[in-house]
Amino acid sequence: MDIDGDTEASSRRVQVRFITKLEAPLKVPTTSIAVPSNLTRFGLSTIVNNLLEARNPDWEAEPFDFLIDGELVRMSLEQFLLAKGITAEKILEIEYIKAVAPRKEEDPSPHNDWVSAVDGSSPGYILTGCYDHLGRVWKASGVCTRILDGHSDAVTSVSTITPEGAKSVTVATGSKDRTVRLWKFDAEEPVNHPLKIRAFKILRGHKASVQSVAAHVSGKMVCSGSWDCTINLWQTNSLVMEGDLVSTKKRKVNDQVDESQLEGEALSTLVGHTQCVSSVVWPEPESIYSASWDHSIRRWDAETGKDLSDIFCGKVLNCLDVGGEGSALIAAGGSDPVLRIWDPRTSAPVFQFASHASWISACKWHEKSWFHLLSASYDGKLMLWDLRTAWPLSIIESHNGKVLCADWWKGDSVVSGGDDSNLCISSAIYV
């Protein structure tokens, strides 16, 4: 009897019921079962997999994550219940979701130099910028379809500006040669070898390196942040305008540039930052968000060019993204290992994720999910985060060296570039 009592004490049991929002083959019967309370996520995942296997004999084990009261379980069930003050008397409802972790690591796509920028906003291709002055378009891992040739210095930022549904693709690149260039190509066109293309429009006006480029939702405009502390807004249309022609005449170095190339001047300049504007995003047509080395995040009215609100951080900011719940949360990282997330209505960060060991170079919200975001850091790690837990969901260590840029691709992959000159794709992430 005594021994029985001891074992009972050491592994107390909790009545749980597994529920899910997943589709039919992943559903388990909603009957309650008693599980030992010292189970962790892995144990719960095994139970769910066993239950699924009982229904479907050729089921392949799949990692799951578990939510209790909207919070991810990151310790043993017992500790979790204690920490949250949840009674174990009642039947516990545990929601399970597919674990957000890369299941596949694709071969790195090598570049000639450090990969400084990556854009995966279009499902058909990945856009990268490189320190060898070139931009590249990748169809898949290792398959380069286009080379964007024309910059005279390292490409610092790339952005897709084509609105959904357009046939040919327009992209923008910013570079340390102080220009933003716009490129056009046909994404659907099958190619076997990399095709060099030239920019159709060169946007000059910045006095120092362009750090970041972002496009209007409609694709008619782009904005760029630069080391000259300004944000410039540019027209993307390919029509020849008076001003453009004038500017071509003025330019001396323009001789070698192809006649077909257009030049554009800034439509307007947003002045207000006192230091380098390191990152700009344009998530909604009316407002532009910018992060700067002067420790502030600003929201600009795109129409009037006025500074609407300020968030002061205290650290140099390198990356910025807006997304999450209601597409309103601001995530930013910079010169310290903490990824901070602000609600624009409050001045203090609502979330702080501090598992990195060095500067954060990139942060991106997942397009669909309200909870997931990824961050890249100079410590060589990519981390996937869920707002419902303070621990990273998974850590991707595909780079050996600094990770300089990262983005989601196709909703289930993470693409990243680093100073090991590789573009890495981690795929099969089910969010």
Find the part of the chain contacting another protein (CB under 8 A) among 45-53, 160-168, 313-321, 323-331.
Answer: 313-321
Distances, alpha carbon 66 to alpha carbons 18, 37, 46, 362, in Å: 9, 14, 12, 27
Please give the backbone phi and psi of residue 273, each rounded to the nearest 5 degrees, phi first: -70, 145
CA atoms of 136 and 418, how far apart (whole Å): 15
Find the part of the chain contacting another protein (CB under 8 A) among 12-20, 158-166, 311-319, 407-415.
Answer: 311-319
Find the part of the chain contacting another protein (CB under 8 A) among 21-29, 263-271, 300-308, 332-340.
Answer: 332-340
Where in 350-389 is the site for another protein (CB under 8 A)? 358-359, 378
Determine, following the binding rule CB under 8 A, whether residue 317 of this chain makes contact with another protein: no
When the beta carbons of 18 and 378 are compared against another protein, the nearer one is 378
Residue of 24, 252, 260, 348 that binds another protein (CB under 8 A): 252
Determine, following the binding rule CB under 8 A, whether residue 318 of this chain makes contact with another protein: yes
Determine, following the binding rule CB under 8 A, whether residue 420 of this chain makes contact with another protein: no
Residue of 227, 282, 342, 353 that binds another protein (CB under 8 A): 227
Determine, following the binding rule CB under 8 A, whether residue 316 of this chain makes contact with another protein: yes
Nearest to 175 by CA among 212, 147, 121: 212
When the beta carbons of 145 and 179 are compared against another protein, the nearer one is 179
> What is the DSSP code string of 96-163?
EEE-----EEPPPEE-SS-EEEEE--STT-EEEEETTS-EEEEEETTEEEEEE---SS-EEEEEE-PP
CA atoms of 27 and 388, how far apart (whole Å): 22
CA atoms of 198 and 203, how far apart (whole Å): 14
Residue of 67, 381, 402, 413 that binds another protein (CB under 8 A): 402
Residue burial 418-429, b: 16+ Cβ < 10 Å; e: rest: bbbbbbbbbbeb
Nearest to 158 by CA among 422, 335, 405, 326: 405
CA atoms of 246 and 150, how far apart (whole Å): 21
In the complex, what is the shortest distance from the CB of residue 424 to another protein, in angstroms, rounded to a whole number?
Answer: 18
When the beta carbons of 65 and 294 are compared against another protein, the nearer one is 294
- Compute the radius of gyration of the chain from its Cα atoms: 25
Where in 153-212 is the site for another protein (CB under 8 A)? 178, 207-209
When the beta carbons of 106 and 419 are compared against another protein, the nearer one is 419
CA atoms of 197 and 220, how far apart (whole Å): 21
When the beta carbons of 45 and 292 are compared against another protein, the nearer one is 292
Site string for another protein, 253-282 (x = CB under 8 A): x---------------------xx-x----
Give all strands (DSSP E) within 153-192, no chain letters.
Answer: 155-160, 168-175, 179-186
In the complex, what is the shortest distance from the CB of residue 30 to another protein, in angstroms, rounded to a whole number?
Answer: 49
Determine, following the binding rule CB under 8 A, whether residue 404 of this chain makes contact with another protein: yes
Nearest to 40 by CA among 77, 9, 91, 10: 77
Determine, following the binding rule CB under 8 A, whether residue 293 of this chain makes contact with another protein: yes
Q: Which residues bind another protein (CB under 8 A)?
A: 114, 116, 131, 178, 207-209, 227, 252-253, 275-276, 278, 293, 314-316, 318, 335-337, 358-359, 378, 402, 404, 419
